[in-house]
Structure 1
């Protein structure tokens, strides 16, 4: 097996391990997918890998249910750096306005990944939120959403942000979506970093 294929397989495995170990609450192994300076940008928490793990663990222990499912994958590899994009859905179950519901958000994980000392690890994960929906667990049940709160968030993750805000998380309201200046800036940042640029301005 040539080195290029080995690298691509290792990157895909890294992405899959992230989803499996995070959703299983396997926090020790989950930490191994990140480099020490890794950063996670999610709707509900933004910070270092260790901060994200701590927040995820705290939510897990309180019964917060967030699951991830992966689809198609593409990686641009340039030397010891890679930009990986992986189709995904985020599924969160909660009760909002006394109605049990599921929110499913479809998008992509946009990952800055680097090989250091022979090991690929995540440096930055920035999800791209493309579209979402909310469904009651009992079909036909009305969910009395607050229009003003719903309108505060971009269409790509509006319902996900709504329920996370209701749980009490300070939701970031300018995440990249399928189109727009935020995602174009992310693509430009990825191209620059892939060819040797600094990750942070």
Structure 2
């Protein structure tokens, strides 16, 4: 196999390991998908990967349930750097006013990845939130959401933000969505990354 194909396979492996190891609580291996300066951006957390791992573990201990499912991946490769987009869903379970619910948000992981010392690692993971929904777990259960509160959040992750704020998280309100200035700025950053610019 040629080197580019091997790199593409290694990058795909990295993306898949992120979801599997994080959702399984395999924290030691999960830490290996990041470079030391890796940064995670999410609705409820923005900061260093090491801190993301710590607060995720704390959330687990409190019963926070957030899982990921991956779809197709596309890789834009430029030497030792790559921009990787992966279709995904984020699924979170929590009570909303005493009603157990699942929120499912569909979007993409948009990853800034670099090969350093022969190893590919995540430098920045920025999800793109495209659409979401909330469903009670018990069929026929009536769920009454605060319409005014729901409308405060961006359309692409409105229900996810609603449930996360109800359980105490401070949600970032300007994350990239399917369209809009935030996602256009992210695409420009990705192109600059591939040209060799700093994030």
Task: Give the alignment's TM-score, normalised by structure 1.
Answer: 0.98
Give the unaligned 5+ runs of structure 2: none
| CA displacement, residues 129-156 of structure 1 (integer Å, 9 cap, x when unaligned) | 0000000001221212112221111111
Superposed CA RMSD in Å reads 0.6
Counting only pairs closer than 5 Å after superposition, residues 150-169 of structure 1 correspond to structure 2 as: 150-169=150-169
Aligned to 1:101: 101
Q: Are 2:100 and 1:122 equivalent residues in the alignment? A: no
Give the unaligned 5+ runs of structure 1: none
Q: Distance in 1 between matches of 2:142 and 2:157?
A: 20
Aligned to 1:72: 72
SS in 2 for 1:160: helix
| CA displacement, residues 109-168 of structure 1 (integer Å, 9 cap, x when unaligned) | 000000000000000000000000000001221212112221111111000000000010
Q: Distance in 1 between matches of 2:139 and 2:188?
A: 43
Counting only pairs closer than 5 Å after superposition, residues 6-17 of structure 1 correspond to structure 2 as: 6-17=6-17
Instruction: Find runs of 4+ consecutive structure 1 residues off by over 6 angstroms.
Output: none
Shift of 1:62: 0.7
Q: Distance in 1 between matches of 2:117 and 2:184?
A: 31
| CA displacement, residues 18-64 of structure 1 (integer Å, 9 cap, x when unaligned) | 00000001111100000000000000011000110011100011110
Q: Distance in 2 between matches of 1:187 and 1:4?
A: 23
Shift of 1:198: 1.1
| Number of residue pairs aligned between Structure 1 and Structure 2 | 199
SS in 2 for 1:86: strand
SS in 2 for 1:176: coil
Aligned to 1:36: 36
Counting only pairs closer than 5 Å after superposition, residues 1-201 of structure 1 correspond to structure 2 as: 1-199=1-199
Task: Give the alignment's TM-score, normalised by structure 2.
Answer: 0.99
| CA displacement, residues 61-95 of structure 1 (integer Å, 9 cap, x when unaligned) | 11100000000100000000000000000000111
